[in-house]
Amino acid sequence: MKASFLLISLLSAGIAFAAPPAPKTEGIEGKDYKWNAQGGEKSEALTKKGDPKAGEEGYETCAACHLPSGAGRPDGTFPQLAGQHTTVLIKQMADIRAGLRDNPTMYPFAATLTDAQELANVASYIEKLCIPLDHGHYDSKPGDAGKDWKAPADTEKRIAEGKGLYEKECLECHGKNGEGNKEKFYPVIAGQHYKYLLRQMTEIRNGHRRNANPDMVKIIKKYSDDQLISISAYQASLQMPGNMCKPKAAAPAKKK
């Protein structure tokens, strides 16, 4: 890691901890809530032509958590951004900045972006990142696992159950392969970290994701914790569409 990038990340973290709390705008619980209403910073950013070169600088504050690669964390604490639709990235950043989506960890960092143009720039830069070859699965070994850790024995069963549930009600919006829909702001969910998917679906079901799509809330609120585990396991098993990262070439053998 370059020294300058490390310094920027540390300074950004300091700014984040000192920043004021996010504003709180009426969300899904409000009678006048419209999931994807036109106007405001989001709509303005969507009309801008993003500059990925300028966006690289803006992304440096994001990279402290989401990593320079945009891979996020396999333990689900931070989602993978690489491969996500620019419309989704812009909407979520704008919603967090406006106080429509509660994310106290990300808000101070998102607040450092200056305007709609910078939102478009950062989204444009993320769009050009290659998609990491691996991510957190249902049966991924946790980073803090002990030596006696064993992979769950029901992975195949979970994925099969999740596939059935997904194809019944999720496929219409998120696509056969979890590719989402850029024009309709439906996110790519294929290849996202399992634990992140599970946490977000649980929060949407329980009414804690205030910028959730009401249509999705109606579908997901009837699912049990066990069913959400299976759906998340299946979604995480799918391969995210797009430009996959090339495997690193093996280091040349040293001459003896």
- Residues 36-54: pLDDT tens digits? 889 999 999 999 999 999 9
pLDDT at 126 > cutoff 50: yes
215 and 120 in a common domain = no
Same domain, 17 and 118: yes
3-class DSSP assignment, residue 239:
coil
Whether residue 162 sits in one domain with residue 52:
no
What 3-state class would DSSP assign to 90?
helix
* Chain-centre distance for alpha carbon 175: 17
In angstroms, the CA 5 to CA 15 distance is 15
Give the model's pLDDT for residue 163. 98
Average pLDDT over residues 227-232: 98
Which burial class, exposed, middle or buried, applies to 3 when counting CB atoms under 10 A from its CB (0-12, 13-18, 19+)? exposed
Residue 123 sits in the same domain as residue 56: yes
| Same domain, yes or no: 207 and 164 | yes
| Phi, then psi, of 191 in degrees rounded to 5 | 75, 5
- 195 lies in some domain: yes
**Mean pLDDT score across all residues of the chain:** 89
Separation CA 179–CA 193 (nearest Å): 15
Residue 178 structure tokens: 């979890």
**With bands split at pLDDT 50, 70 and 90, how would you rate the model's confidence at 98?**
very high
Are 190 and 99 within one domain?
Answer: no
Instruction: Decide if 78 is inside a domain.
Output: yes
Q: What is the pTM of this model?
A: 0.88
Q: What are phi and psi of 141, to 5 degrees?
A: -75, 125
Judge whether 160 lies within some domain: yes
Distance CA 35, CA 37 (A): 6
The residue among 229, 204, 230 whose CA lies nearest residue 219 is 204
Domain region containing 166: 155-237
CA-to-CA distance for 93 and 41, rounded, in angstroms? Answer: 10
CATH code (residue 168): 1.10.760.10
104 part of a folded domain: yes
Residue 242 lies in a domain: no
| pLDDT at residue 107 is higher than 80 | yes
State yes or no: pLDDT of 9 exceeds 90. Answer: no
Residues 121 and 219 in one domain: no
Instruction: Please check whether residues 71 and 169 belong to one and the same domain.
Output: no
Domain count along the chain = 2
